[in-house]
Amino acid sequence: MENHGDEYKHYWETQYFLENQEYGSPDGAPSSAASRNIVSERNRRKQLNQRLFALRAVVPNISKMDKASIIKDAIDYIKQLQEQLAGIQAEVMEMENNNPETKVRQQLPLLLRSHNTNIFNPTSSPIQLLQLKVTPMGDNTLLVSITCSKRADTIVKLCQLFESFNLKIITANITALPGTLVLNTLFIEADEKEKDGLKMQIETAIAALSDPQSRMS
Amino acid sequence: MENHGDEYKHYWETQYFLENQEYGSPDGAPSSAASRNIVSERNRRKQLNQRLFALRAVVPNISKMDKASIIKDAIDYIKQLQEQLAGIQAEVMEMENNNPETKVRQQLPLLLRSHNTNIFNPTSSPIQLLQLKVTPMGDNTLLVSITCSKRADTIVKLCQLFESFNLKIITANITALPGTLVLNTLFIEADEKEKDGLKMQIETAIAALSDPQSRMS
DNA sequence: CCTTACACGTGACTC
DNA sequence: TGAGTCACGTGTAAG
């Protein structure tokens, strides 16, 4: 549509900038009175066109080079920018309010937004590890037993942790007890020698999760 | 500065819109040939001024009502918006990286990146629900029993789902069996009447998660 | 008086 | 030829 490159070469801005290069008063003409206005007018128009040209430059997707269309496109673009910015700012606000799990919240429309006290508590709740055992059961099987205190998202984090390890999990069981405890039991297919390595791995991962490093803006 | 309210009342747009109310051809004038151009021109100017007026309307903080200044202000404003948006988008990107899943991934250097087939598989793996029962156990307790097929992240999603519901969970148990099944059992403190509502809620949430709606850019 | 900023009509040009 | 857009010079009102 609108064959760029050929079409526009006659257009005003192009031909305008070619011709419009100072023009002043070649002779010692009177230049007084009325005739001084016309050069003034020329400059006014020149400036106005420059500005319009500049406006066109900052607006992407300009279709018609029409003066009026340029302004219209600029208006639409400004509105679009304003909307985007408003939307994104809202998003940021929301994210800042409830740190990590905003994503989940936004993927589930109604249900979540209805009763939203603060399950996803903003103060990042690291996993508090109470006990960690890795026991070889023979038969290429390790029994991993984890006990930690129940905080918001503890279970989710545990799941993610182990899913990310890419282990050969035979069975996994997570139980949240009525009290404050979360028990996690996994049977993993792995050599007995990996016992200590795996334990280290888990400890390191949990420690990293609880790490209060990343900048608090 | 610039005494608003008095100053601008003589300005072009104001007086322009007062006078400019159709003007057409009062008599059966020839209106042919050249004279038809002048009305065309009038309309062109009119439209152009309208657009300029509209442009001024979407730009806050316009100081001088100058035509050229309006455009200039619009340009500056657009640039400002673009910068703001770019900045905020960067901020959002950064925040999204701090989300739980990504966090685990990025904060745990070696361990995860080493064996990272695609546990967090990009192709959203919806939860495939095989069975859902909500049974009143008396004593203000509901037993929720879920069976679904084991896919990547299924457990994580289930956890997030229930954490987000803000239910009074007495005990929760998730078990991944050696086969392809994931069993989820919860004891929830709730009135018997909420049975069907809760079931619906769970079904809806799972459906929403699996929904292939949101745009695939 | 001079300057600024505008709307107008007109001829030129393109599609 | 006819509709659309443009730059130009001019008259004019306000500061």
Q: Tell which strand C nucleotides have any atom below 7 Å from a protein Cβ.
A: 2-15
Q: What is the pLDDT of residue A115?
A: 29
Q: How far apart are CA B13 and CA B17, in angstroms?
A: 6
Q: What is the pLDDT of residue B106?
A: 35
Check A108 against B205: CB less than 8 A apart: yes
Check B174 against A173: CB less than 8 A apart: yes
Q: Which residues contact A125 (CB under 8 A, 6 or more apart)?
A: A151, A152, A153, A154
Q: Closest Cα of chain A to B11: distance in Å? A: 17
Q: How far apart are CA B51 and CA A67, in angstroms?
A: 10
CB–CB of B10/B16 below 8 Å? Answer: no
CB–CB of B68/A47 below 8 Å? Answer: yes
Q: How far apart are CA B66 and CA A44, in angstroms?
A: 11
Map tokens 């997707």 to a residue. A61
**Domains, chain A, ordered by start:** 35-99 (4.10.280), 129-210 (3.30.70.260)
Q: How far apart are CA A171 and CA B179, in angstroms?
A: 9
Angle between helical axes of B154-165 and A154-165 (0-180°, round to 10): 170
Per-residue pLDDT of chain B (217 residues), as tens digits, is: 434 444 555 566 555 544 444 444 444 445 566 788 888 888 999 999 999 999 988 988 787 888 999 999 999 999 988 988 888 888 777 666 665 444 433 333 322 232 233 333 334 467 778 888 888 887 888 888 888 887 766 777 777 777 777 777 788 888 877 777 788 888 888 888 888 888 888 888 877 776 555 433 3
Check A173 against B173: CB less than 8 A apart: yes
The DSSP letter of residue B74 is H
Helix spans in chain A (H): 12-19, 34-58, 67-97, 102-107, 110-114, 154-165, 194-210
A136 forms beta bridges with A142
Best mutation target, A50, A164, A188, to test chain B (most B CBs within 10 A) = A164
Greater confidence (A139 vs A125) lies with: A139
Check B85 against A84: CB less than 8 A apart: yes
- Each residue of A46-100: pLDDT tens digit? 999 999 999 998 988 787 888 999 999 999 999 988 988 888 888 777 666 655 4
Residue A77 is nearest to which of B78, B105, B163, comparing CB atoms?
B78
Distance B133 CA to C10 C1' (A): 84
pLDDT level of residue A33 (50, 70, 90 thresholds): low
Q: What is the pLDDT of residue A152?
A: 66
Residue A155 is nearest to which of B105, B111, B159, comparing CB atoms?
B159
Q: Which two tokens stand for residue B103?
A: 């966090």
